[in-house]
Structure 1
Amino acid sequence: MQSTLEFLRCSDPDIYAAMIGEEQRQREGLELIPSENYAFPEVYATNGSVFTNKYAEGYPGRRYYGGQTFTDRIETLAIERARQLFRAEHANVQPLSGSPMNQAVYMACLEPGDTVLAMDLSHGGHLTHGAPVSAMGRIFNFVRYKTSPPDGRIDYDAVAAAARATRPRIVLCGHSSYPRELDYARFRAIADEIGALAMADVSHIGGLIAGGVLANPLDAGFDIVTTTTHKSLRGPRGGLILCKASLGPQIDQAVFPGMQGGPHMNAVAGIAVTLKLAAQPEFRKYAQQVLRNAHTLADELRRHGCTLITGGTENHLLVIDTVRSFDVDGRVAETALDAAGLTVNKQVIPDDPRPPLRPSGIRLGTPAMTTRGLGEAQMKQVADWIVRALRAASDADALRAVNAEVRDLCSRFPVPGLG
């Protein structure tokens, strides 16, 4: 690896400098964005491997190019490991990322104009769940359900009523910014009542499901479950579609040749490695600590008077209403915390009156910090830094002081794989 980096330093010093700068940023700051994590060190080896060079259009035993002995081996391992880890009848490991992953499911199971019932974006849903600005939102008819005040929970009776009224082909649950566990049995019952497919996008919590600390929709009889392979799973960037065996052929056809050509076999190798590591007892302990850290962080932020969407968390993430808590919008809060060495992302809150680039909140989570080895004691310190920084969001000296403390902590908890 060092010789490869040295080669890059000589051939393209600008890109090399950016890589070294990013490595330093990750070493010296804390990553709180809940959709980001540090990959297993083994994933670095696969992503930079000779599999980068190989086209492998098709599926194991059915390729369109020769020389597939080892690509077939790693993809078969990835498929079997995915099926075992998530207790799935069928798995497709080729989607290049989360968006084409979900798009492939829609293309496999729907006709243009068909209806999908999914979570509203501002209430915690995802762009690929039918946001009007998405391509899928133009092809299919997405009907969106919302959470309910005052606690921001899902009103399942309202979801059932919407399903009866709109007769969707797919009832989709899952989120990118909802801090609570989902009632998969209730979603399955709603889908059954109207004869719809039950689909869950668990991209954020795939690792927590694999680690056994959150419920698995497949255990509730879901037809389709999708998850990205990075985030809480700590793998390479990619997508994974798990489904009933009866849907397997049409899902595979939708992925290739329907949505994409040759899979990124270096990423498939990384997915295979990740799924093996996620099946180990150490990963279960990791998933348990992610939840303990999230609960501690939420409790400590509430103790400081912060307003949290839904009042707390039951998973790895939480959302702070920064306008109510600190009288600053999410963009200001994100910028201030960045200067303090704490990376978060601005986030809309339910029915946010503010625009997406200046929303009312921020979103944060604990997977990456837990990967570094931080525990409950450090979560209390992180909460204190967040509050100090946001109460002094325009004070550069105060933010630099917090940053120095963050760097000191980070020096004691190195990023795995970065030394």
Structure 2
Amino acid sequence: MIESVEPRIAGAIRSELADQRDSLKLIASENYASPAVLLTMGNWLSDKYAEGTIGHRFYAGCQNVDTVESVAAEHARELFGAEYAYVQPHSGIDANLVAFWSILANRVETPALAEHGVKSVYDLSEDDWEVLRKKFGEQRAVGMSLDAGGHLTHGFRPNISGKMFHQRSYGTDPETELLDYDEVARVVREFKPLVLIAGYSAYPRRINFAKMAEIAHENGAVLMVDMAHFAGLVAGKVFTGDEDPVPHADIVTTTTHKSLRGPRGGMVLATEEFAADVDRGCPMVLGGPLGHVMAAKAVALAEARRPEFRTYAQHIADNAHALADGFLKRGAKLVTGGTDNHLVLLDTTAYGLTGRQAESALLDSGIVTNRNSVPNDPNGAWYTSGVRLGTPALTSRGLGIDDFDRVAELIVGVLSQTEATPTRSGAPGKAKYSIAPGVAEATHKAAEELLGNHPLYPGLEL
């Protein structure tokens, strides 16, 4: 059907499936959704507008979207033990924006309205509204720095989060590259932010969220946790107790893909205190919710509540350990010296390569990764000095501990036989590289052989 309308799109879809089948997919933020999740997105719920909330829509005829959203939120609450769940966000950044503005509404707008004796910003005089707007613009946030493993949406200046708040960052210990809770406490105590953001995009260790909550609440801050990367490990009970953010944070955001293995989208979990404010995500921040994607979220969350998902989550962590051990025994340098979550951060400077050169050489060899900054990265956020690797996707395909040791062997083999190509002036280049003859082809063949025992979407032909 697609072929008859736009053959180029049909071709791109076929090529993507072929590429994913034949490559070692190690991007930590990617996974493979189940056929049930994928098929759920292709339905006529896509054609329905449903701004508003369950039972309070701005359009008529939303009873089926109400059902979909209710079921998805129910599964999210039960899966994570959350008091409230909001499944409308279209992406992780949308979820974070909903969380930020919910905190501002709860801690800045509501007290200001009470002070002026009104219930709505529409009832404020123009002068009072200007005062409130100034209060909004003077708020502060603290999050993990980008090179330490934080995310763009945790206050990075080019991102809107870095423009919304006066911002400070906390990093990691220079020697161990581990999170220093005393340093986090010092930054929060001195800066006095409205929001302390915890969570990471490229930090290969676990976080004690009980400690982060203590730091935040002792200083009058709201603890917001972005668990987009490790939500599957929380859902699968690999992270429990102090390492489970939901019992400790005021607001938790996540994506629904990555380790949770659902459709591309976002979600917000919150305590009852923030529930009403989060529920204003549309129209406060979001446009019309995507009914077909919320339906796919419901299916993915239902899958994550099954016992076999816990087994899968534990395999993610076990495989990450195997990948890290495989690197270390072959002399590779890892940020923090290893991992205890789902990702590994490989320092590529030991091979004389930038992250961009390593990423490209691996892609040529059938291994899909992404370059990433390392602490105090001398090459900046574009070229970087590291490569981030994650185990969720290949774990979904059934690869195990021995397979990931082989993956480490293949990666070290490529990088050790790749050289940076100097620029015309003879200076070291940051982008160009050359791989020893035959290495890329041999590695690609080895990758295909490794994946041949673990077919992706078997039986599906396009």
**Residues 198-213 of structure 1 aligned to structure 2 (within 5 Å):** 198-213=223-238
1:116 aligned to 141, 151, 163, which one? 141
User: Which residue of the other structure, out of 328, 333, 357, is the alignment partner of 1:307?
Assistant: 333
* Structure 1 position 409 matched with structure 2 position 447: no
- Report the CA distance between 1:69 and its aligned residue: 1.9
Once the two structures are aligned, what percentage of the paired residues are identical? 41
Secondary structure of 1:147 counterpart: coil
1:15-94 correspondence runs (5 A): 15-94=9-88
The 5-angstrom pairing of residues 224-243 of structure 1 reads 224-243=251-270
| 8 Å CA contact 1:392, 1:399 repeated in 2 | no
Q: How far did 1:395 drift?
A: 2.1
Q: Which whole-Å CA distance do the structure 1 matches of 2:315 and 2:161 have between them?
A: 36
Residue matched to 1:4:
none
1:101-139 Cα shifts (integer Å, max 9, x gaps): 101111121222211111001110000000011122112
Partner of residue 421, structure 2: none
Which stretch shows the higher mean deviation, 408-417 or 240-249?
408-417
Stretches of structure 1 that go unaligned for 5 or more consecutive residues are: 1-6
Q: Distance in 1 between matches of 2:218 and 2:298?
A: 37
The equivalent residue for 1:261 is 287
Question: Aligned equivalents of 1:89 and 1:134: distance in 2?
Answer: 30
Map 1:238-253 onto structure 2 (within 5 A): 238-253=265-280
Find the aligned partners of 2:459 and 2:201 in 1 and give their Cα distance: 28
Matches within 5 A, 1:137-286: 137-214=162-239, 215-219=243-247, 221-253=248-280, 255-286=281-312
Cα distance in structure 2, aligned partners of 1:267 and 1:78 = 10
Deviation at 1:236, TM superposition (A): 0.5
2:91 counterpart letter in structure 1: S
**How far, CA to CA, are the matches of 2:306 and 2:458 in structure 1?**
19
Deviations 1:365-392 (CA, angstroms, capped at 9, x unpaired): 1000000000001011101100111112
Offset of residue 351 of structure 1: 1.1
**For residues 62 and 415 of structure 1, do their structure 2 counterparts lie closer, same or farther at Cα, with a shift above 3 Å needed?**
same
The one-letter amino acid of 1:235's match is G
* TM-score, normalised relative to structure 1: 0.96
Q: In structure 2, what is the Cα distance between the partners aligned to 1:395 and 1:21?
A: 27
Name the structure 2 match of 1:104. Answer: 98
**Correspondence 1:380 to 2:380:** no
> Matched residue of 1:294: which SS?
helix
Residue 285 of structure 1: CA displacement?
Answer: 0.3
User: What's the counterpart of residue 336 of structure 1?
Assistant: 361
For 2:441 and 2:352, locate their aligned partners in 1 and report how far apart those are by CA, in whole Å.
Answer: 21
Q: Matches of 2:387 and 2:20 in 1, distance apart? A: 20
2-side partners of 1:66 and 1:344: how far apart?
Answer: 45
User: Is the deviation greater in 268-277 or in 396-405?
Assistant: 396-405
TM-score normalised by length of structure 2 = 0.87
Q: Which amino acid aligns with 1:31?
A: K
Larger of the two Rg values belongs to structure: 2
| Equivalent residue letter for 1:167 | K
Are 1:323 and 2:364 matched, yes or no? no
SS in 2 for 1:241: strand
Indicate the SS of the match to 2:16: helix
Structure 1 residue runs of 4 or more that deviate by more than 3 Å after TM superposition: 416-419
Q: In 2, Cα distance between the equivalents of 1:225 and 1:355?
A: 29
Give the drift of 1:272: 0.4
Please state if 1:360 is matched with 2:371: no
- 2-side partners of 1:178 and 1:305: how far apart? 21
The whole-number CA distance in structure 1 between the counterparts of 2:50 and 2:338 is 45
Distance, in Å, in 1 between the alignment partners of 2:329 and 2:371 is 22
Q: Name the aligned partner's letter for residue 243 of structure 1.
A: A
For 1:207-259, what per-residue CA distance to the aligned partner results, in whole angstroms no more than 9, with x for missing partners? 1100000132122x311111100000010011110000121111111x11111
The 3 A distance-change label for structure 1 pair 93 and 418 is: farther
User: 2: distance between equivalents of 1:34 and 1:69?
Assistant: 37
